[in-house]
A and B are shown apart, each in its own frame.
Chain A
Amino acid sequence: MDKKQKRFAALIDEYSPMLYAQIRSMLLNHEDADDVLQNTFMKAWINLDKFNENAAMKTWIFRIAVNESLMHLRRRQSKNNRLGITVNNDLAQNSRHAVMPDHDPAKLLEQALTVLTEKQRLIFGLRYYNNLPYKEISEITKQKVGTLKATYHQATAKIEQYVKQYE
């Protein structure tokens, strides 16, 4: 293992669980999240030599993950359009989870994510799962802190409403 690979291995150790949670909360299924996470790391590998600022590494790799996830969602949407699928793609992707709401907290939260919009899931993932401060989320998403706070608030309200139905 050379120097670059060692650096890359450390990057995987540090960020793979965080990035998985982020990508998974946006794409809602494991298979897609796995593909996108791998693409994210391969893009990071290709550009690792150009990127030497460890301080901004987190923002950089999260930006790649978010962009890859959004691109995947666009591709999925365009594929559905070509096939004439007009149903809510997120719900369709997760129908096996959404049909029977679960009282297990893990599954209940996963199901609740399906009622959020793409943007809400993006902000919820960064804030809730990864506990990032709004300033960092703003750097990743290029959105204003006020907008981010409002979006996160809407997302949590929707999740609360969803969970309440099954109590």
Chain B
Amino acid sequence: MNKSDLKRFESQRNMIGGGFSDLPDEYFELLKARLLRETDKHRKPRIALLARFRYLAAAFVLLLIAGGLFWMLNSELPQNLQVTSLLKPDDSIKNRVEADSGVRHFGDPVIDSLSLKKIPNEYLILYLIESEEFEF
């Protein structure tokens, strides 16, 4: 047998998968399907793990939201109140102006002996007692 004898296997060599005699039909298609199923199994445990903790995660998120809301309400309520109080219209000036408008100006009072005589003595004594400048 010479070297060219290996050429008799040339058709064999070029066949898919080496053309082995007991290679099942559609072996490579079935192998691919099997391998892709296996890769799915590798991915599923991770998904299952996430699914197992989904209720816990949802409860945690709800707790966070509730806590956040509670904190916000507590911390911002006084500020809101302050703001509302600041937003109230300030009537003090207007009221004062209105009050002043009713005041009648009579000019500086004139005090003389005649006007003093008109003041009752009791009032004068009380005034002098209450006045800090006057000492007995």
Judge whether A5 is part of the interface by a CB distance below 8 angstroms.
yes
Structural contact, A109 and B32, CB atoms closer than 8 A: no
Instruction: Pick 10 A–B contacts, CB within 8 A, sort by A.
Output: A5-B36, A12-B36, A16-B31, A21-B20, A24-B18, A34-B31, A128-B13, A159-B6, A160-B6, A163-B1
Partner of A106, one of B12, B24, B38: B12
Contacts A9-B36, A128-B13, A167-B1 given; indicate if A107 touches B21 (C-beta within 8 A): yes
For B23-41 the 0/1 string (1 means CB < 8 A from A) is: 1100110011011101100
**How far is it, in angstroms, between the C-alpha of A166 and the C-alpha of B11 when the chains are bound?**
20
Partner of A38 from B16, B24, B35 at Cβ < 8 Å: B35
How many Å lie between the Cα of A109 and that of B38 in the bound state?
33
Shortest A26–chain B CB gap in Å is 11
Decide yes or no whether A133 CB sits under 8 A from chain B.
Answer: no
Within 8 A of B (CB), among A118-167: 128-129, 131, 156, 159-161, 163-164, 167
The chain A residue with its CB closest to the CB of B8 is A105
- Residue ID in chain A nearest B15 by CB atoms: A106
**Count of CB-CB pairs between chains A and B under 8 Å:** 85
Of the candidates B13, B17, B39, the one whose C-beta lies within 8 Å of that of A20 is: B17
Contacts of B6 in A (CB 8 A): 128, 156, 159-160
B42 sits at the interface (CB 8 A): yes
How distant is A120 from chain B, measured CB to nearest CB, in Å?
14
Chain A residues with Cβ below 8 Å from B23 are 20, 30
Within the complex, the shortest CB–CB distance from B3 to chain A, in Å, comes to: 7
For this complex, into which size category does the number of interface residues on chain A fall?
Answer: 35 or more
Chain A residues lying within 8 Å of B5, measured Cβ to Cβ, are: 160, 163-164
Q: Within 8 Å of chain A (Cβ to Cβ): is B19?
A: yes
> Which A residues touch B71, using CB under 8 A?
none
Whether A114 is near chain B, meaning CB under 8 Å from some CB there, is no
Q: Measured between alpha carbons, how far is A1 from B35 in the docked complex, in Å? A: 13
Closest chain A residue to B18, Cβ basis: A21
A8 pairs with B39, CB closer than 8 A:
yes
User: Is B9 on the interface with A (CB-CB < 8 A)?
Assistant: yes
Given contacts A105-B11, A160-B5, contact A24 B35 (CB under 8 A): no
- A-B pairs, top 3 by smallest CB distance, nearest first, are A21-B18, A164-B1, A20-B17
- Would you call A37 an interface residue if the criterion is a C-beta within 8 Å of the partner chain's C-beta atoms? yes
Q: Is the CB of B28 within 8 A of A20?
A: yes
Q: Let me know if A104 and B39 touch, CB within 8 A.
A: no
